């Protein structure tokens, strides 16, 4: 039974926490600054984190989603402005699964930090793909408008799913292509922005021609959902720490406010919520790594519960901080911006709870026992 | 969930208990063909016999050391044991308080003579133990207890009252705390003592609960005399002894409670699917119920994962931490929600009680709803768990 982290995983945690504490500059993203902490990303690339979980063929490190989760938790804690989710986890995993030469080469350039990638995953509940591809001999022309690509504003290459001859196929689009127009979109969390993309006969080539693209996009989406849960978990852990420190040091009515049960019981409930978020997130990663058939339920649970608990934890941390908690100067709004974005993006809690409810309530009635 | 891969030795252990249960559970067990008697005394006799049978093959108190009839079972083996017990729906040993509390306390603090006298009888269900901690004026503030124990020669003379003792009518012994000295700090001067429930001057007064049934009792002591050899540990050292026994409430006991929770949720899901509103629509289609059902499903998973994480931590550090309070707080709050949901799923007909022919599930949910109000009170209120978490995990200052 292993319901604990391995020594190597604890090492990832320590290395990243120290590095991010020293180097992350999320405030540089505000007031017109860029949404990429370039120096920090270079440092992470140097240490191999850009290739975490991407395997040998791409020059990365073999690792599971659980290892990526541990890294994402630290990134969330520091509200670091790095494209670990969009470039490494989503785009990198897609490419290495495709496993052909072109895909590995592209993934390799991501691992070395030469390029940053983003993937135009369809929006939650969308029923169609907005891009179509037409073949012209060996090359393809892509047309369409994608309203929101997370991390698209800093991407050198976009992975774009498009309908080609009635099937879903995957294409790599250079964002510098003259026929591609990327417009940066301001976001609630300026450390993580997005772009809208217009493709007007972009000439490109297809990657992973024989692969099951819908299936792989589904897996990429699940990975992203667990990583969003992990980032939210990290940010919530930080908020709990800040609120606990504040409750110990802030004196009112002649005693630390943490002695009042209104405050200490709130903090106790926050700890329970954070630990539950951790259980849900790690569990989803473990199950996903073991290719469990019901992994989608564990992912729904992680994304729904962990992000919801995280947002509510940060909100209570703000309340405990009183007036300072709502100032620009205090870091809590950074944590709130990140956790709330993690909660909303790729299915809000209600959406994921409904996934679980459908499994429990709409299947064959005789299977209830096996479901619960 | 996750990486539950067991060693060959553990798999053998699992097979052993599984085979034993298959061979020894009565015919028709777990089906409608087998029903335990509704008569409390007959039921009690049967359950004592079942525990004795388990004990004879060393299948109770498996966490006890081998020299006292246990198996010195590892935490992993305890997890497997509880899982198999629940899977086969085998009855929980009726003497679980003795097995989980009195026994382990005697093993740590008892004299050789006390161990000789009590341990085997606990295992064989020859003595069923009850516990008496709370008093009318000592609930969350347990150390405020006032039941007096005066030393008179080689006897302790006890006067006072205890409250909320379960199963006292059918039990044999009481494991309790009395005040032998009130001159110093309230935590000093408390003594841990074992009292036969048949003692002269001891009376048991059933307390009727909000459900109408009476599982709890008040116990009064009027010059009850027990020999000093019934004291566990030092005279005046009872607070320390009690803390160890409460810490022995076992890390693996979340498994039976989690599975019980899952089974109740299964019943709720069946109810939601089979109950139709007047318009003919199953209540399982109502969005506000769907969300709550999904949330409680998540709870069943979290209780399991949290429990396993806690075990991993105990294995790693060797000592129980305050994390138990996290599990307790979450588990007991969620148990209330489960019964709230059940009654809400029943809808308008949820107002019907047992005896009404059209009551959903024969009206059992009202009983559960009322009964589960105790979940956040008994065994340490949620407020006390929050204090433990805040003070011992987060390091916040103690209450004034």
- B/e letters for A301-340, b = 16+ CB within 10 Å, e = fewer, are bbbbbbbbbbbbbbbbbbebbeeebeeeebebbbbbbbbb
User: What is the DSSP-derived secondary structure letter of residue B138?
Assistant: B
- Distance, CA of A173 to CA of A193 (rounded, Å): 19
Does the CB of A271 have a partner CB in chain B at under 8 Å?
A: yes
Q: Which residue has 């989710």 as its token pair?
A: A85
**Torsion from C-alpha of A265, A240, B314, B251, nearest 10 degrees:** 40
B16, B155, B215, B249: the active-site residue = B249
Q: Which of A243, A276, A363 is the mutation pick for testing B, counting most B CBs within 10 A?
A: A276
Instruction: Kindly state the average pLDDT of the residues B275-299.
Output: 96
What mean pLDDT value characterizes chain B?
92
Does A255 contact B397 at a Cβ distance shorter than 8 Å?
A: yes
pLDDT in tens, A96-123: 999 888 899 999 999 999 999 999 999 8
End-to-end CA distance of chain A: 22
Q: Which residue has 């841990």 as its token pair?
A: B192
Are the CB atoms for B297 and B276 separated by under 8 Å? no
**How much is the pLDDT for A291?**
80
pLDDT in tens, B68-101: 999 999 888 998 999 899 888 899 999 999 999 9
Helices (H), B204-322: 238-247, 254-274, 287-317
Indicate whether A366 pLDDT > 70: no
- Distance, CA of B233 to CA of A23 (rounded, Å): 56
Indicate whether A259 pLDDT > 50: yes
**How much is the pLDDT for B77?**
92
Does A265 contact B266 at a Cβ distance shorter than 8 Å?
A: no
Residue A227 makes CB contacts below 8 A (sequence gap 6+) with: A68, A69, A72, A84, A85, A89
Interface of A with B in 312-371 (CB under 8 A): 350, 353-354, 356-357, 360-362, 365, 368-369, 371
Beta-strand pair B148-152/B155-166: antiparallel
Residue B249 bears catalytic tag: yes
Q: Which residues pair with A200 in a beta bridge?
A: A143
CB atoms within 10 A of CB B273: 19
Q: Which of A265, A267, A350 sits opposite B383 (nearest CB)?
A: A265
Select the more confidently predicted residue: A172 or B248.
A172
Which residues in chain A touch residue B311, judged by CB atoms under 8 angstroms apart?
1, 3
Which residues in chain B touch residue A287, judged by CB atoms under 8 angstroms apart?
1-2
Using CA coordinates, name the residue in chain A closest to B382: A265
Confidence band for B252, pLDDT divided at 50, 70 and 90: confident
Which residues in chain B touch residue A360, judged by CB atoms under 8 angstroms apart?
269, 293-294, 297
Does A258 contact B385 at a Cβ distance shorter than 8 Å?
A: no
Are the CB atoms for A332 and A318 separated by under 8 Å? yes
B152: enclosing H helix or E strand: strand B148-152
Does the CB of A14 have a partner CB in chain B at under 8 Å?
A: no
Does A1 contact B5 at a Cβ distance shorter than 8 Å?
A: yes
Interface of A with B in 98-127 (CB under 8 A): none
Instruction: State the nearest Cα–Cα gap between A103 and chain B, in angstroms.
Output: 31
- The token pair at B359 is 């009551």
Q: Which of A3, A290, A368 sits opposite B269 (nearest CB)?
A: A368
**How much is the pLDDT for B6?**
82
pLDDT in tens, B184-231: 999 999 999 999 999 999 999 999 999 998 889 999 999 999 999 999
């Amino acid at each position: 039974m292993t319901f604990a982290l391995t020594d190597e995983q604890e090492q990832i945690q320590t290395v990243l926490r120290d590095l991010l504490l020293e180097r992350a500059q999320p405030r540089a993203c505000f007031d017109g600054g860029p949404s990429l902490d370039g120096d920090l990303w270079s440092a992470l690339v140097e240490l191999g984190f850009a290739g975490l979980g991407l395997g040998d063929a791409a020059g990365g490190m073999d690792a599971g989603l659980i290892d990526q989760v541990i890294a994402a938790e630290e990134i969330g804690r520091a509200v670091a402005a790095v494209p670990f989710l969009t470039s490494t986890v989503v785009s990198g995993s897609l490419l290495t699964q495709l496993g052909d030469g072109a895909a590995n080469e592209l993934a390799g350039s991501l691992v070395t930090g030469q390029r940053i990638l983003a993937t135009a995953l369809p929006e939650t509940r969308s029923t169609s793909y907005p891009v179509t591809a037409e073949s012209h001999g060996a090359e393809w022309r892509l047309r369409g408008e994608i309203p929101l690509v997370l991390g698209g504003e800093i991407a050198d290459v976009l992975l774009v799913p498009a309908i080609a001859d009635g099937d879903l196929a995957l294409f790599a689009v250079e964002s510098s292509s003259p026929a591609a127009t990327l417009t940066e979109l301001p976001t609630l969390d300026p450390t993580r922005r997005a772009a809208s993309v217009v493709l007007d006969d972009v000439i490109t080539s297809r990657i992973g021609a024989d692969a099951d693209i819908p299936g792989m996009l589904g897996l990429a989406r699940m990975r992203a959902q667990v990583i969003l849960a992990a980032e939210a978990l990290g940010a919530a852990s930080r908020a709990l720490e800040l609120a606990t420190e504040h409750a110990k040091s802030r004196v009112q009515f002649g005693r630390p406010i943490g002695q009042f049960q209104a405050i200490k019981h709130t903090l106790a409930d926050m700890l329970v919520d954070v630990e539950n978020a951790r259980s849900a997130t790690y569990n989803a990663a473990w199950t996903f790594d073991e290719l469990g058939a019901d992994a989608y339920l564990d992912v729904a649970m992680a994304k729904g519960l962990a992000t919801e608990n995280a947002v509510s934890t940060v909100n209570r941390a703000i309340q405990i901080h009183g007036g300072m908690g709502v100032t620009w100067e205090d870091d809590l709004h950074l944590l709130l911006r990140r956790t709330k974005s993690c909660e909303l993006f790729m299915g809000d809690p209600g959406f994921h709870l409904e996934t679980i409810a459908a499994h429990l309530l709409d299947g064959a009635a005789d299977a209830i026992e096996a479901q619960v | 969930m996750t990486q539950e891969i067991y060693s060959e030795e553990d798999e053998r252990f699992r097979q052993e208990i599984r085979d034993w249960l298959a061979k020894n559970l009565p015919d028709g067990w777990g089906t409608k063909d087998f029903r335990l008697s509704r008569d409390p005394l007959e039921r009690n006799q049967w359950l004592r016999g079942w525990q004795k049978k388990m004990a004879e093959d060393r299948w109770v108190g498996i966490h006890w050391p081998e020299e006292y009839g246990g198996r010195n079972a590892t935490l992993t083996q305890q997890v497997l044991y509880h899982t198999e017990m629940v899977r086969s729906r085998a009855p929980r040993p009726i003497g679980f308080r003795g097995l989980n509390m009195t026994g382990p306390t005697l093993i740590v603090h008892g004299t050789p003579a006390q161990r000789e006298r009590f341990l085997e009888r606990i295992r064989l269900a020859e003595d069923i133990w009850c516990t008496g901690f709370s008093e009318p004026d000592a609930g969350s503030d347990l150390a405020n207890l006032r039941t007096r124990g005066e030393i008179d020669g080689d006897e302790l003379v006890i006067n006072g009252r205890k409250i909320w003792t379960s199963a006292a009518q059918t039990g044999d012994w009481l494991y309790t705390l009395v005040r032998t000295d009130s001159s110093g700090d309230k935590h000093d001067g408390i003594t841990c003592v074992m009292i036969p429930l048949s003692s002269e001057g001891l009376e048991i007064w059933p307390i009727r609960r909000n459900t109408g049934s009476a599982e709890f009792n008040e116990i009064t002591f009027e010059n009850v005399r027990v020999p000093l050899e019934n004291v566990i540990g030092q005279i005046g050292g009872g607070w320390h002894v009690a803390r160890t026994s409460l810490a022995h409430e076992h890390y693996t006991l979340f498994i039976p409670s989690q599975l019980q929770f899952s089974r109740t949720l299964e019943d709720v899901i069946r109810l939601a699917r089979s109950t139709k509103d007047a318009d003919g629509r199953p209540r399982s289609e109502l969005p506000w119920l769907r969300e709550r059902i999904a949330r409680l499903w998540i709870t069943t998973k979290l209780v399991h994962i949290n429990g396993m994480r806690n075990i991993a931590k105990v294995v790693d550090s060797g000592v129980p931490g305050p994390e138990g309070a996290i599990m307790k707080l979450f588990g007991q709050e969620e148990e209330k929600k489960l019964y709230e949901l059940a009654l809400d799923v029943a809808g308008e007909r949820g107002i019907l009680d047992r005896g009404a022919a059209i009551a959903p599930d024969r009206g059992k949910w009202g009983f559960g709803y009322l009964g589960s109000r105790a979940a956040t009170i008994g065994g340490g209120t949620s407020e006390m768990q929050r204090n433990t978490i805040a003070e011992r995990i987060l390091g916040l200052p103690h209450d004034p």
